[in-house]
Amino acid sequence: MHKNIIMTAVAFSLLVSAPLAMASNIAAGLQPDDAQRLGTFASLTDSQYDSGEPAPAAEHYQLFKNIRGAFSRQTVALNDVKSADKNLWNRLPMEKSVTRIQGTGKRQIAVFSDPNCSYCKRVEAELAKIKNLTVHTFIFPFLSASSRDKASDVLCAPDPSAAWGDWMLQGKSPARNPLCSSRLQELLDLGRSFDIRGTPVLIFDDGTRISGYAPAAAIEQKLH
């Protein structure tokens, strides 16, 4: 059934809200999948909301924002929100990722990951269990200078995908290459442009995301 979502938006500009923050604000009133999708929609439309609840009309939701008493209202179809999700996946510059193909690689996932993040290493181990998967890793070394050094060494390795796997799964450090230029700032800027504020973040090809650790079974349920 076609769902509409009644969204209340302010008539002046707002700071961009992170999808997770927005989802957290409205989670009590919305289904989890819709909360996550609306969080993505909020980030793409530069809006943030205070709360959410089912609307009186069936198959509708109301989202509320109150700043200085100034409101305007618009209706957005959930299908449009799903399209925004899909556009999120399509905007990922896969050529900047470290790509690993498992089996046929017919299913895809993108991961933002820091080389010194313990939960990222756990997620890598879970992803390695999944058959027929292409993993696009966007290295996001935000935790420390050590993270940036490790990221640079991985990206400058002859085979970055193998170097990444060796480090994340086996603890084998990549060879140091201080003379290599590895576009770290570009990758940090990329993560911030997608509102990545922590790692790991898994993005699926429908544009939905999981932030934090997830076991292989939970990840596989969301793959297409």
The Cβ-side half-sphere exposure at 138, using a 13 Å CA radius, reads 29
* Residues 172, 217 within the same domain: yes
Is-contact 163 157, C-beta < 8 A? yes
Q: DSSP secondary-structure letter at 197?
A: -
Is-contact 40 207, C-beta < 8 A? yes
Domain count, the chain: 2
* Residues 117, 204 within the same domain: yes
Q: Where are the beta strands (DSSP E) in the chain?
A: 4-9, 51-54, 60-64, 72-77, 98-102, 107-113, 133-139, 201-204, 209-211
Task: Report whether pLDDT(124) > 60.
Answer: yes
Q: Where are the beta strands (DSSP E) in 86-219?
A: 98-102, 107-113, 133-139, 201-204, 209-211
* Residues 74, 115 within the same domain: no
Domain, as residue range, for 137 = 94-222
* Residues 124, 166 within the same domain: yes
Q: Identify the domain boundary among 52, 70, 88.
A: 88
pLDDT for 64 equals 55
Task: Report whether pLDDT(135) > 90.
Answer: yes
Task: Report whether pLDDT(200) > 50.
Answer: yes
* Residues 21, 113 within the same domain: no
Task: Report whether pLDDT(3) > 50.
Answer: no
* Residues 72, 113 within the same domain: no
* Residues 49, 108 within the same domain: no
Q: Identify the domain boundary among 88, 103, 119.
A: 88
* Residues 43, 106 within the same domain: no
CATH number for the domain spanning 123: value is 3.40.30.10
* Residues 72, 130 within the same domain: no
- pTM here is 0.66
* Residues 58, 132 within the same domain: no
Q: Identify the domain boundary among 54, 88, 122.
A: 88
**pLDDT tens for each residue of 64-101:** 555 444 443 444 444 544 455 667 898 999 999 999 99
**Which residue in the block uniquely carries the two structure tokens 């205070």?**
50
Q: Which of 19, 203, 208, 215 is nearest to 113 (CA)?
A: 203
* Residues 135, 217 within the same domain: yes
* Residues 132, 206 within the same domain: yes
The Cβ-side half-sphere exposure at 29, using a 13 Å CA radius, reads 18
Return phi, psi of residue 135, to 5°. -105, 120
State the Cα–Cα distance between residues 16 and 122, nearest whole angstrom.
30
